Chains A and B, each alone.
Chain A
């Protein structure tokens, strides 16, 4: 190899030299031997110089090769994985901890106490946020691999409700770690895999509040206490099938069930369109047979003690969702655009009772959806628009019970339009301003929501 290089170098060096020599012999005609001698000695000197240069270059070449070998030798060969903390302290296996802090300022044109969503009985967190300054939900998440086969995660949320701090276990589940063949099993409490937004924590939403249909159907979010099984097919395009079974006690379910209180099946698919676009579509269907679902949003009758109207029967909810995302060059760090749309449809079939003596056969439908588009101009600024709407159709043998349950209203298709702007100082903080034009009850309402959301500790996940 070295010899080949030498020959090559000599050829390179000599190549320009030969024509020079040829030129010289043409132009000057050597008359005497001394002239010739002088010329030859000059040539020899030149060649010697060239050979010296050549040798120098060769030496340089060799030394740089040894240098390289040294560098390679000196760079640590296949160093072991970064050693975590050899002095094994009891803390070194601490789970990843992250805390999300939230706070804001809300301003409404109407009195938020009067808020209602026509045709829906609002539950729990479905009400409007407190007017003026308020501390939002503070969320603590811990997660870690439990052992070689299980992963665990818990999210505890703290929030103020009517002057008291409430602690809520939002999620607490264990999940199989690479069960293999695309199968994943989960047990515990988790957000039901219905739709797109439902599986995301509120702080990861694009808007400060839930779409009206989420507010109306679930009191913001549907969770399941139970089991989940999912299967990802070995295909190039994502196809995921799965289902859950659960206790069936969270709204719009209700009551204690000895066996399976609710179940859900879903199918999800998605892929890329070129480098810049990607999409995901899903359908899901949930069923339950609520026992004594409480309509806490109902009105009391005069001096009578406020008992809640109750629903018994069968309930099912179907959802379709569609997500499209685009980023220039597929680089989400810079500009990107998301378009998300979902539609829900709930069917209730059973009866509503109130107290001991009021009873009505009841057949109800509630439906609605939202479409939102969000554009990120640059890494620090995003802006978005959302339109959401709901509708309902309630049939009861005694319409008074609909009022008792809070399902009454003008049924004039409540709707809302929202616009938001976000400033993101870093990946871990966000300041958001949102304006809603809310036409979901008697008087149209203009709402201003200002919000900060920050994440402390462990790095969050970049979910699709």
Chain B
């Protein structure tokens, strides 16, 4: 019994001694938290780059991680609506409740596009707040990084100065990288593409790609034969250079279109860990642009 009493404070002490614990809902925010937090944060990513972040279950390991989190870094905009509220509820952790300092939603720092004018589930898996896949543009990531730095300083004020330094450093490296990516991606401007899932709006706006049509007629619903034929007809009128799908999604519709039209295919990582090359935020965009350029040949 005495041993147990000695052990209990140790259990608690562990979380107190460690850096701040960040629970990131998606790998891109885990990577950004590492960039900005460095050694001062312990980051856990609830999902990998090969998982659809919408369809996660509030499984035991996530509850345990949420229990010890000082800061949630998630996308928001209803992307995690199926499981994040459950984690907040079941973890009994006051730090991560909605509105608390430990509740950070990246989409709050970005102006969301594709906000549906009609909210009706007959239109498929629509997101009421707008397109939540904000990590496809480095400009969004810059905005999120700025807000996240402030939040880290709030949550861990003792290290505020260090977070400021890391932000300055990241900001400089990221802006240089953006310049480089924009130069590399110059030939992609105005190139017509088809997408499998409508998740790339921010990337296309950034690089000036032109989306001709979408294989999934309704987001989140596998395309029907009719949908695919409509795509073929549309492509006869407006040919596209390539079809784009995300690594975490099955590529069947994309492969079908490739076999029908001989169009190039670009499987993009979508997020950090989406493929072997995308190990952090920088390599994510290096790889994304490289793959787009390869498919543009």
A residues near B (Cβ < 8 Å) are 61, 64-65, 67-68, 71-72, 75-82, 145, 151, 175-184, 230-240, 268-272, 275, 278-280, 325, 329-334, 378-380, 425-428, 459-464
For B14, the closest partner residue in chain A by CB is A234
Residues of B within 8 A of A329 (CB): 48, 50-51, 248
- Check: B147 CB closer than 8 A to any chain A CB: yes
Going nearest first, the 7 A-B pairs with the smallest beta carbon separation are: A270-B60, A178-B94, A180-B94, A238-B60, A462-B82, A178-B97, A333-B52
Determine whether the beta carbon of A234 is less than 8 Å from that of B60: no
Interface-lining segment among B154-162, B175-183, B264-272, B277-285: B175-183
**Interface residue ranges of B54-74 to A (CB < 8 Å):** 54-61, 63-65, 67-68
Determine whether the beta carbon of A79 is less than 8 Å from that of B109: yes
Interface string of B30-60 (1 = CB under 8 A from A): 0000000000000000011011101111111
Residues of A within 8 A of B94 (CB): 178-181
Interface-lining segment among B83-91, B226-234, B237-245: B83-91
- Check: B98 CB closer than 8 A to any chain A CB: yes
Question: Beyond the given A82-B129, A234-B11, could you list 20 further A-B residue pairs with CB under 8 A, ordered by the A residue number?
Answer: A68-B175, A72-B139, A72-B175, A75-B111, A75-B143, A78-B147, A79-B108, A79-B110, A79-B111, A82-B112, A180-B94, A234-B12, A237-B60, A271-B61, A329-B48, A330-B50, A331-B55, A332-B51, A378-B222, A426-B221
Determine whether the beta carbon of A272 is less than 8 Å from that of B59: yes
Interface string of B143-156 (1 = CB under 8 A from A): 10011001000000
Sort chain B's interface into a size bin: 35 or more
For A269, the closest partner residue in chain B by CB is B60
Question: Which of A81, A175, A236, A463 sits near B57, CB closer than 8 Å?
Answer: A463
Interface string of B96-116 (1 = CB under 8 A from A): 111010000101111110000
Residues of B within 8 A of A231 (CB): 92
Residues of B within 8 A of A238 (CB): 60-61, 63-64, 67
Per the bound structure, the CA–CA distance linking A268 and B52 in Å amounts to 27
For A275, the closest partner residue in chain B by CB is B48
Determine whether the beta carbon of A177 is less than 8 Å from that of B97: yes
Per the bound structure, the CA–CA distance linking A380 and B221 in Å amounts to 9
- Check: B261 CB closer than 8 A to any chain A CB: no
Determine whether the beta carbon of A182 is less than 8 Å from that of B67: yes
Per the bound structure, the CA–CA distance linking A32 and B176 in Å amounts to 51
Question: Which of B55, B61, B88, B221 sits near A278, CB closer than 8 Å?
Answer: B61
Residues of A within 8 A of B85 (CB): 461
Determine whether the beta carbon of B129 is less than 8 Å from that of A235: no
Question: Which of A79, A269, A271, A461 sits near B86, CB closer than 8 Å?
Answer: A461
Per the bound structure, the CA–CA distance linking A240 and B97 in Å amounts to 19
Determine whether the beta carbon of A232 is less than 8 Å from that of B91: yes
Determine whether the beta carbon of A234 is less than 8 Å from that of B78: no
Residues of A within 8 A of B68 (CB): 234
Determine whether the beta carbon of B86 is less than 8 Å from that of A462: yes
Chain A to chain B contacts (Cβ below 8 Å), 11 pairs? A61-B179, A72-B175, A77-B143, A145-B98, A179-B94, A180-B95, A232-B67, A325-B57, A331-B51, A331-B248, A462-B55
Residues of B within 8 A of A181 (CB): 92, 94
Question: Which of A427, A459, A464 sits near B60, CB closer than 8 Å?
Answer: A464
Per the bound structure, the CA–CA distance linking A270 and B111 in Å amounts to 39
For A65, the closest partner residue in chain B by CB is B179
Residues of B within 8 A of A425 (CB): 221
For B60, the closest partner residue in chain A by CB is A270
Residues of A within 8 A of B51 (CB): 329-333
Per the bound structure, the CA–CA distance linking A279 and B92 in Å amounts to 21
Distance between B44 CB and nearest chain A CB, rounded to angstroms: 10
Question: Which of A68, A79, A236, A428 sits near B64, CB closer than 8 Å?
Answer: A236
Distance between B182 CB and nearest chain A CB, rounded to angstroms: 6
- Check: B165 CB closer than 8 A to any chain A CB: no
- Check: B258 CB closer than 8 A to any chain A CB: no
Per the bound structure, the CA–CA distance linking A68 and B171 in Å amounts to 13
Distance between B107 CB and nearest chain A CB, rounded to angstroms: 8
Determine whether the beta carbon of B57 is less than 8 Å from that of A462: yes
Residues of B within 8 A of A184 (CB): 89-90, 92
- Residue of B54, B77, B78, B105 most packed against chain A (CB within 10 A): B54
Residues of B within 8 A of A330 (CB): 47-48, 50-51
Residues of A within 8 A of B78 (CB): 459
Question: Which of B58, B60, B142 sits near A462, CB closer than 8 Å?
Answer: B58
Residues of B within 8 A of A67 (CB): 182
Per the bound structure, the CA–CA distance linking A427 and B129 in Å amounts to 19
Determine whether the beta carbon of A462 is less than 8 Å from that of B83: yes
Interface string of B3-15 (1 = CB under 8 A from A): 0000000011011
Given that A178-B97, A179-B92, A329-B48 are known contacts, is A427 also in contact with B58, CB under 8 Å in the complex? Answer: no
Given that A182-B67, A278-B59, A380-B222 are known contacts, is A235 also in contact with B125, CB under 8 Å in the complex? Answer: no
Distance between A270 CB and nearest chain B CB, rounded to angstroms: 3
Per the bound structure, the CA–CA distance linking A145 and B112 in Å amounts to 26
Determine whether the beta carbon of B92 is less than 8 Å from that of A180: yes
- Check: B210 CB closer than 8 A to any chain A CB: no
Per the bound structure, the CA–CA distance linking A175 and B125 in Å amounts to 30
Question: Which of B63, B100, B105, B222 sits near A81, CB closer than 8 Å?
Answer: B105
For B175, the closest partner residue in chain A by CB is A68
Residues of A within 8 A of B110 (CB): 75-76, 79
Determine whether the beta carbon of A333 is less than 8 Å from that of B55: yes
Distance between A186 CB and nearest chain B CB, rounded to angstroms: 10
Residues of A within 8 A of B56 (CB): 332, 462
Per the bound structure, the CA–CA distance linking A79 and B115 in Å amounts to 15
